[in-house]
Structure 1
Amino acid sequence: MTTGNWWTAALRESVNGERPLAVVCNGEALVLFRNAAGELCALEDRCPHRRVPLALGTVTPKGLQCGYHGWTFSGTTGMCTTIPNLREDERVPSRYGARAYRVAESNGFVHVWLGEGSPADVPLPGADYQPRGSEFSGAAVVNIAHDEYLAAMLDGPECLLEFGSVRMTDFFLGDPRVESGHLVVDRGAVWTMRMLPAAFVIDHPLIVRTAVPLEGGTIRVELLDADEVPLVTVYIASSVNRRGTTSLCWRGFRHDARVVGAPLRWHLARRRECAPFRIHQMIDGAALAALLVAPSRDLAAARAAQRALMSDAA
């Protein structure tokens, strides 16, 4: 049984061959960059010489050069290729190397394999994100622990994101269910122009569907009409950062579906190609504390059931 997992670490456009990118993914400090051949590389963000972050260094034709003493490391193997004060006839000891990670790209995301085992038969998290039309993306570190972020995405996603001209309600449309390795919850939503308060709406014209992973941090959030036709799809990659915070990067897009009953603001935003959603980068602690624990209670049980199935299969 594999004990590792692919984690989404960054947006593709954030990783280049000019400047290294420091990220913390599932609690591990990494540095991402592209080498001279354009290959995607990921190393532990610590020089094995003096433990200085390699992200403070420079990308060179020979690899990533530490900014402290100039040691240079291959991005694909992590081996030290150059030490400035060595003579030309001296070889760099093989033990001088930085830890290298397996990396892969999919649909605009950079993924890193963390943990043991082989990633050969494990699908990339970004494989199920199929963008169409204009995309809207971003990255942030938010002031909430990762487990709490996942729980809030099930219990009250309005604390974490919003859709333009849409108000989410606390009315759940059925029980939580497990689909494709995610715990999925549907809740009713309304256009903000409605005269009645959301609590008095019986037939919800919109659905907000949140899918939280049983393993990893690949969240899907969809805005659907009453017939479950997708209007907006957002893919949020989340993982543990330092000091009880959470790393996020996201991509999303507006579908081409015809929208009935939407307010004028929705149509104007679409015409102007404004982002149809907003990820909150500062979490309101009071709103978070007021959330009732509801669908998130099923997350631990669903995770335990999946792990039992995987153990039996192994």
Structure 2
Amino acid sequence: MTTPGWWAIALCEAVNDQTPLAVAFGGEELVLFRNAAGQAFALEDRCPHRRVPLALGRVVESGLQCGYHGWTFDGASGGCTKIPNLHADERVPPRYAARAFAVREANGFVHVWLGEGTPHGELPSSDYLPIGREFTGSTIVNMSHDQYLAAMLDGPECLLGFAHVRLTDFFLGDLRSEQGRVVLERGAVWTTQLLPSQFVVDYPLIVRTAVPLSGGSVRVDLLSEDELPLITLMIATGANRRGTTSLCWRGFVHDRLPVHAPLRWRFARTRKQAPFQVKNLIDGVAVAALLQAPSRDLRAMRRPHLIAASAVV
């Protein structure tokens, strides 16, 4: 069951006023589109007439038109505004409406309010403030959403990688909670490091992973040894169909250059090559071999607290 709240479910540039975008996210089947003014909308991806996916239709001036019988729906309210075989003096019954979702955009992500309740609170990407060129992408991975979040703490090297950097399994401190996220840091080394990582005393790099207690937006930072940010990556995650997980991400390189960065890193930076990779093919053997340590704490912290029956009046 999806936790009620704002979820980042798509990149802003993936939603346009030409082709509807179908998104399966958190148990919901959604269709995203824009009007001519650029405003983004989200409707349930099912026509209330014959349950045909609205994503198979087309964007028109008055909203989204179903491709089956041409019914048209307003993006903001979901109300049906036009049925082709009705006479001009006939009104469309109010019950012929598609379910509409609240939408907000920020920092390159389209956010949709999922679950019950009135939309409120900060957006998951509120602390992602890109500088300069961004590197973006989206995919679906063959892994459940809970497993993906757990692996992001237990072994992020199975899910992503930084160019010319090798992540280690050495934790730099304990798991901690910060601003609605569980945060863990581990040491990392340049791939030019001669000694095996287990013999390194002072790690030249730090990888900080921050997994949400509620929602699905994961933040990953590559830091220098004095904790200055080098790369920031925001990955929006959510449960897709059949035990898979939807991902979309944005990331950027900070202005500062590490003093001991190898020439490969400097050269790639000059050529503006992608500084990281979010994997779409995940090694199940490697994931199964991960020690389940931090993820146990994450599950305990995400689990709703039970109220004793004696405490209920």
User: TM-score band, normalised by the shorter chain?
Assistant: over 0.9
* Structure 1 residue aligned with 2:98: 98
Q: Secondary structure at the match of 1:267?
A: helix
CA distance, structure 1, for counterparts of residue 238 and residue 247 of structure 2: 7
Aligned letter for 1:5? G
Q: How does 1:268-279 map to 2 (within 5 A)?
A: 268-279=267-278
Q: Secondary structure at the match of 1:140?
A: strand
Q: How big is the shift at 1:303?
A: 2.4
In the alignment, structure 1 segments of 5+ residues that lack a partner are 309-314
Q: Secondary structure at the match of 2:274?
A: coil
CA distance, structure 1, for counterparts of residue 84 and residue 130 of structure 2: 46
Aligned letter for 2:155? G
Q: How big is the shift at 1:87?
A: 1.3
* Structure 2 residue aligned with 1:71: 71
Q: How big is the shift at 1:261?
A: 1.2
Aligned letter for 1:296? S
- CA deviations 1:142-181 (Å, max 9, x no partner) are 1100000000000000000000000000000111000011
- CA deviations 1:30-68 (Å, max 9, x no partner) are 000012332211000000011110001000001100011
Q: Secondary structure at the match of 1:153?
A: helix
> Does residue 220 of structure 1 match 2:219?
yes
* Structure 2 residue aligned with 1:13: 13
* Structure 2 residue aligned with 1:239: 238
CA distance, structure 2, for counterparts of residue 100 and residue 307 of structure 1: 33
Q: Secondary structure at the match of 2:126?
A: helix
Q: Secondary structure at the match of 2:291?
A: coil
* Structure 2 residue aligned with 1:312: none
Q: How big is the shift at 1:185?
A: 0.5
CA distance, structure 1, for counterparts of residue 157 and residue 297 of structure 2: 19
CA contact (8 A) 1:36 1:62 kept: no
Q: TM-score, normalised by structure 1?
A: 0.95
* Structure 2 residue aligned with 1:208: 207
Aligned letter for 1:108? G
CA contact (8 A) 1:74 1:80 kept: yes
Q: How big is the shift at 1:248?
A: 0.5
Seen in structure 2, the aligned counterparts of structure 1 residues 35 and 53 have a Cα distance that, compared at 3 Å, is: same
Q: Secondary structure at the match of 1:199?
A: helix
Q: Secondary structure at the match of 1:158?
A: helix
Aligned letter for 1:61? E
* Structure 2 residue aligned with 1:181: 180
Aligned letter for 2:269? R
Q: How big is the shift at 1:10?
A: 0.2
Q: How big is the shift at 1:24?
A: 1.2
Aligned letter for 1:262? A
Q: How does 1:149-298 map to 2 (within 5 A)?
A: 149-298=148-297
* Structure 1 residue aligned with 2:302: 303
In the alignment, structure 2 segments of 5+ residues that lack a partner are 308-313
Q: How does 1:105-120 map to 2 (within 5 A)?
A: 105-120=105-120
Q: TM-score, normalised by structure 2?
A: 0.95
* Structure 1 residue aligned with 2:141: 142
RMSD across aligned C-alpha pairs, in angstroms? Answer: 1.3
Overall identity of the aligned pairs, in %: 66
